Amino acid sequence: MAKIINGTEISNEIRKEIAQRVSVLKSKGITPGLGVILAGSNPASHSYVGMKEKACAAVGIYTVTKLYSDSVTLNELIEQVDSYNNDPAIHGILIQHPLPNGIDELCVFSRIDPRKDVDGFHPINAGKLLIGEESFIPCTPLGILEMLHRSGYSPEGKHVVVVGRSMIVGKPLAVLLMQKNKRANATVTVCHSRTVNIPAITKTADILIAAIGVPEFVTGEMVREGAVVIDVGVNRVEDASTEKGYRIVGDVKRNEVEKIAEAISPVPGGVGPMTITMLLHNTTTAAEKLSQ
């Protein structure tokens, strides 16, 4: 049976380190601040922002959240981003994804001061990541790398297969894993919805990362014995046997894969807590740099 890579435990360890960094900043009269923009009525987005606010408070990061309806305009969002850009008490800016239909998301993300882009979505930070320069790295890919490092599963010299090519996870993660440093140095293959014979490719992975957004897509037949499997997916599937009428599953069919893999991250309690923790890390880093 696979070892469980417990994202909650690893996150708690990192959050203690972040709280110490925040304490040092506060001793200098600086309180790290995160400005949040939450637009629309998506219940998942409201839930995620609530969790992020709670996590920030626990380590001493100040947050302010601006709420907008589904009818928000592009100009309103840009004006709020500018307000956060010009506010010295705000060191990081978080725009909760997705934005309402009709909003040009790239336009909004591109308006963020790159020095406050704690989600790592600004084209400048994306470009720096690609060429290997220091930059803010998207929180989920950074959390996955940290999770592998702290659990003793280095990607160095390994074949890593990433299933999914989103701008939030798949693409930046692939680039991050290829970087020339001891926490990366992997050979990376990216699969996606148009890849032919995905199981033949995933079966070759030393480390398999599932981020395709399809419930239980990765089955036991797709995993090599002894592989390390990271499940990024968070999917709600109907289940009449539960009180809520649904259950949360990942992109990996855990009951099959955990019998084959050497290690696996669970859902929930795996990548999710790491993503929020890396937001805290990036916000603290932004405060440290902006206060120099």
Give the residue numbers annotated as catalytic, written as ranges: 52, 96, 119
How far is it, in rounded angstroms, from Cα 63 to Cα 88? 13
DSSP class of 98 = S
Q: Give me the half-sphere count of Cα atoms (radius 13 Å) on the Cβ side of residue 181.
A: 12
Bridge partners, residue 163, by sequence: 191, 210
Bridge partners, residue 159, by sequence: 187
Which pair of tokens denotes residue 10?
Answer: 């690893």
Which pair of tokens denotes residue 212?
Answer: 């395709």
How far is it, in rounded angstroms, from Cα 171 to Cα 174? 5
How far is it, in rounded angstroms, from Cα 55 to Cα 51? 6
How far is it, in rounded angstroms, from Cα 58 to Cα 50? 12
How far is it, in rounded angstroms, from Cα 77 to Cα 82? 9
6 burial via Cβ count (<10 Å: 0-12, 13-18, 19+): middle
46 burial via Cβ count (<10 Å: 0-12, 13-18, 19+): middle
How far is it, in rounded angstroms, from Cα 45 to Cα 275? 14
